[in-house]
Amino acid sequence: MASRTLSIGASLDSPDALFERNDTENISMVSLKFHESNRVLDQDHQASSPVRRDVVNRSLSAVKFLENDDMDLEGGKLEKDRDKIIRSNKVVKIQNQALLSGLAYCISSCSMILVNKFVLSSYDFNAGISLMLYQNFISVVIVSVLSSLSLISTEPITWRLIKVWLPVNVIFVGMLVTSMFSLKYINVAMVTVLKNVTNVITAVGEMYLFKKHHDSRVWAALFLMIISAVSGGITDLSFHAVGYAWQIINCFLTASYSLTLRRVMDTAKQVTKSGNLNEFSMVLLNNTLSLPLGILLIFVFNEVDYLFTTPLLRMPDFWLVMTLSGFLGLAISFTSMWFLHQTGATTYSLVGSLNKIPLSVAGIVLFKVPTSLENSASILFGLLAGVFFARAKMQERSQS
């Protein structure tokens, strides 16, 4: 409601509205002039002879023709100017929207990882599953509120949809949990580079499950990613075997999530009320189903005892940071949809790859990660391999 009111209020001072007012004023002036001419000529018409009346009638016709012609010329000129400004305003608006959405997407995605790293490492919070559960709970609350206010549309969660979606959700929860565990032990830059291995597993999975063949440039980029991940691990001064093990598991789960999603999506759409499943419905479905599974995992990994004893949960600033991480998690979904809508899959993919570069630098600087020239070169090599992979996928998509 607020956005609708804002757009109406804003439009009053927009160039379109200004042109409408100018158009109306010009037409009114021409009409007034025309009526004044009519009044003078009518008075002469009543006091004159038949010959004069004929002359006057001809003059009146000529005046009407000239006035109409002036009005058409003026209106045409105004219409042209108006169209030109509307087109230029649309171009500026689209460019501004694309820039804003891109910045919002980059900031939210970078901030989410950095805030999670801050909670897990700087606060030394040893309950990654509880953090994930709290973030997902925030997402469910916000999406539910927005849906109840009719600001977004979501599909109702039915038992048929749950049965179809449950395998995807199990992998989704595993992906989030392993990501939390790995991020606690590995620095942000190396996590970013190691995540490239997911692309390799996904490409192999696509080849065997969907019979999709990739060209040589894609495989070359994937090979570079493997080299950068191996060399980065060897030269990592803060190497942690447990963290690397969780990250490798995370790569397999992330690839599995992507591949399973493709297989399940069509079936899931068939069991929905509208026959469609948008991003908001997926966010609500995934996060809602993750809550009971997350609670179960808290007991399995014995995080309950830790939660009762840790002093962190009695610190208001810690709750503030955790809540911020929950909002950022949901912001990624919203901003990625906004950015994708304003640009396209090609720009979205490339920006996502380039975004890892400032993220890695920020992770090293903010958390004072010990590094060497060899490790830095490996990280940079891996990030560039990611950009090369994105470009190769774009070219492959354009050719197909």
Mean pLDDT by 10 residues, the chain (400 residues): 36 33 35 40 42 44 47 51 54 68 90 94 94 96 94 92 94 95 94 92 91 89 92 93 96 93 89 87 93 96 94 95 93 87 78 88 92 92 90 81
pLDDT at 80: 54
Is pTM beyond 0.85? Reply is: no
Residue 71 lies in a domain: no
In a domain, 92, yes or no: no
The 3-state DSSP class for residue 47 equals coil
DSSP state of 276: -
Give yes or no for a contact between 78 and 26, defined as CB atoms under 8 angstroms apart.
Answer: yes
Q: How many domains does the chain have?
A: 1
Task: Single out the residue of 343, 175, 155, 341 nearest to residue 265, CA to CA.
Answer: 155
Q: Is residue 231 part of a domain?
A: yes
Closest CA to 257 of 232, 284, 234, 286: 286
Q: What is the pLDDT of residue 373?
A: 92
Structural domain includes residue 141: yes
Q: How many CA atoms lie within 13 A of 308 on its CB side?
A: 6
45 found inside a domain: no
CA 250 vs CA 125, 149, 202, 257: distances in Å:
20, 36, 13, 10
Burial class (CB in 10 A: 0-12, 13-18, 19+), 155: buried
Question: Does 87 reside within a domain?
Answer: no
The DSSP-derived string for 147-160 is HHTTSS------HH
Determine, yes or no, domain membership for 253. yes
Domain region containing 392: 98-397
Is residue 228, in this structure, part of any structural domain at all?
Answer: yes
Residue with tokens 């009346």: 53
CB 192 within 8 A of CB 285: no
Residue with tokens 């291995």: 197
Do residues 359 and 110 make contact, with C-beta atoms less than 8 angstroms apart? yes
